[in-house]
Structure 1
Amino acid sequence: MASLVLEDGTTFKGRLFGAVSSVSGEVVFQTGMVGYPEALTDPSYKSQILTLTYPLIGNYGVPKDEDGEFGLSKWFESSKIHAAALIVGELSENPSHWSSAKSLDQWLREQGIPGLEGVDTRSLTKKIREKGTMLGKLVVEGTSANDIPFDNPDTRNLVKEVSMKEPKVFNPEGTVRITAIDCGIKYNQIRCFCQRGAQVTVAPWDYPLDSNDFDGLFISNGPGNPEYCKETVENIQKVVCVENPKPVFGICLE
């Protein structure tokens, strides 16, 4: 057993699955019927406690991580789970799907991520919707809630934590050169450019930019407070605040 404790004192009790670990973070929700492997590996959910509102989660299991087009994972949005914890109404213990390689419970255990089932996710979602995003902590039974501090992810540079450390080129034979600044980029964003014939150079969040290196600049979305991305902003300004700048396309981080 375990509990989700919100910063206003509201407590939701449930059954622990995945890793046996107490964690804290920002509590958010997602309403999709499917897509939990993609959501959990989305860097935008870094250090967040992700609530899935669909009543039954895990019924199609988790696929094996394997490369597809352009050397990108077929099924996931990054190389690991970024969410701090997962909250669901009911966990399917008998997944069935042709691509399933393991259960959601097993995957979370392997990745060291705790989950909580049996929670009234509609009530939790309503509270978040009405009061705004709240901090919370998942506390394993036997652990004092006072021993687990509320962790506010916005006090850390999460973009730096999830961004790649060195540039990497995808589809090197592409005819149009796109530089993508990795502020928490998803594999599918890279894939979409490559499928349209672009050569994509994914660069770290603070990588110096030279407009001679690209035909277009893409700035990905990502987690946390963009105020920590001063280097990103300064580097972008150097290539856009000029005469005849190259095209720029950005997502979120506002």
Structure 2
Amino acid sequence: MKKQIHNEAILLLEDGTFYKGKSLGLIGTTGGELCFNTGMTGYQEIFTDPSYYGQIVITTVSHVGNYGVQHEEVESDNIQIKGLVCKEFSEFFSRNTAEGSLQQYFEKAGIVGICEIDTRALVRYIRDKGAMNAVISSETSDPEVLKQKLAAVPSMKGLELSSHVSTGQVYEVKPEETKFRVAVLDLGIKKNIINNLVSRGCELRVYPYNTPFEEMEKWNPDGYFISNGPGDPAATTEAVESVKKILSKSKPMFGICLGHQMLAQANGIPTYKMHNGHRGLNHPVKNLITGRSEITSQNHGFVVDAAAIASHPEVEVTHINLNDNSIEGIRVKGKPAFSVQYHPESSPGPHDSEYLFDDFIKLLEQYK
């Protein structure tokens, strides 16, 4: 493959800070909330994770693109990020099983990015100032044009985004032998969550984000799964109503990430936007039930209110983050309903938390 001649690219932050670098992907302009992921591998899984919809991702690993891309490593059918910021971007790859370069992958998907900037300095800046909106452009350096583009980027607070990444129609995924029927509310589900449920004998019927509970209940599932997804949980009101009704039926329910926040909201526990959020593969979490700690994969910018849970008579904390003591898991007393903020299905990533899928299976067995 002939080496590309890179355009100059600009990264402009909403506080006026800007960086100059070289373009990657498609030549153009893009905008979104700027956040960083500390994972050292798995860039294709990050780029295709629906929970990143609306965001520009900074990768803290130095080299991106060096092992190319392949279809088996996607978490959804599309690239979900709005843009990429990295230090070294490789148009060449050395993995024999790769199906193409990351540059070609981005060009086909229309993704704009910037490389050859000091991402260490940028991440330190974002850690201090907090996640903020930004624009990347490799087609113009006109400050006024970039400011206009930046002004058009919506704030993540109050933004409902599941409607952009959820399935448009109901579909089914079946195991070789069906043991349980699980209705999945798709707020932006990752493929490996589906794989983990199906491998445990769950026949899944996956529903769009705004499906009423009554429609899912017609299938008479043994339990419900509420998926991960992007945006502000406080704005995902239709899913909250469905979760309330699932709780009233006392059927097993498991939520991950945004699904965890939906369970909190359904119990009157508010969520709020974090200064930076948790995004990476090495977040330590303690299971308060077993006393054991686990290394987890995470991707979220909102969190449930710890003070509200502490005063709630029917909800108890099951997991906490050992870095900042934020809430990582809850369960509802007297109900077969639980959730975690992190990703037990992480692929690639730590497998310490896969037991949570087994816990869900035990509830399905108990209540069937």
Same fold (TM over 0.5): yes
Which of 167, 174, 195 aligns to 2:199? It is 195
Query: Per-residue deviation at 1:41?
Result: 0.5
Query: Per-residue deviation at 1:5?
Result: 0.7
Separation in 2, partners of 1:114, 1:61: 17
Which of 228, 231, 243 aligns to 2:235? It is 228
Query: Per-residue deviation at 1:201?
Result: 1.2
Identical columns (%): 39
**Which of 1 and 2 has higher RCO (CA within 8 Å, sep 6+)?**
1
Query: Per-residue deviation at 1:232?
Result: 0.9
Provide the residue aligned with 2:312 in structure 1. none
Query: Per-residue deviation at 1:115?
Result: 1.5
Q: How many residues align?
A: 243
Separation in 2, partners of 1:183, 1:114: 25
The correspondence of residues 1-150 of structure 1 with structure 2, limited to 5 A, is: 1-63=8-70, 65=71, 74-144=72-142, 145-150=146-151
* Aligned residue identity for 2:59: L
Query: Per-residue deviation at 1:143?
Result: 4.5
Query: Per-residue deviation at 1:12?
Result: 1.2
The answer on 1:160 being equivalent to 2:158 is no
* Aligned residue identity for 2:12: V
Separation in 1, partners of 2:180, 2:241: 25
* Aligned residue identity for 1:149: L
The structure whose Rg is larger is 2
Q: CA RMSD in A?
A: 1.5
Separation in 2, partners of 1:120, 1:174: 51
The verdict on how the C-alpha distance between 1:40 and 1:246 changes in structure 2, with shifts beyond 3 A counting, is same
Query: Per-residue deviation at 1:77?
Result: 0.4
Partner of 1:174, secondary structure, is: coil
Separation in 1, partners of 2:139, 2:78: 27
* Aligned residue identity for 1:118: E
TM-score by length of 1: 0.91
Query: Per-residue deviation at 1:142?
Result: 2.7
Provide the residue aligned with 2:188 in structure 1. 184
CA shift digits 1:140-193 (9 cap, x unpaired): 243422341341252542111111111111016522111111111000000000
Q: Is the 8 A contact 1:153 1:224 kept in 2?
A: no
Separation in 2, partners of 1:246, 1:142: 54
Q: Is the 8 A contact 1:26 1:49 kept in 2?
A: yes
Q: Is the 8 A contact 1:47 1:153 kept in 2?
A: no
Unaligned runs of 5+ in 1: 66-73
Separation in 1, partners of 2:91, 2:246: 52
Separation in 1, partners of 2:140, 2:131: 27
The answer on 1:171 being equivalent to 2:178 is no
TM-score by length of 2: 0.63
CA shift digits 1:72-118 (9 cap, x unpaired): xx220000101000111001132110221211111100100011110
Provide the residue aligned with 1:248 in structure 2. 253
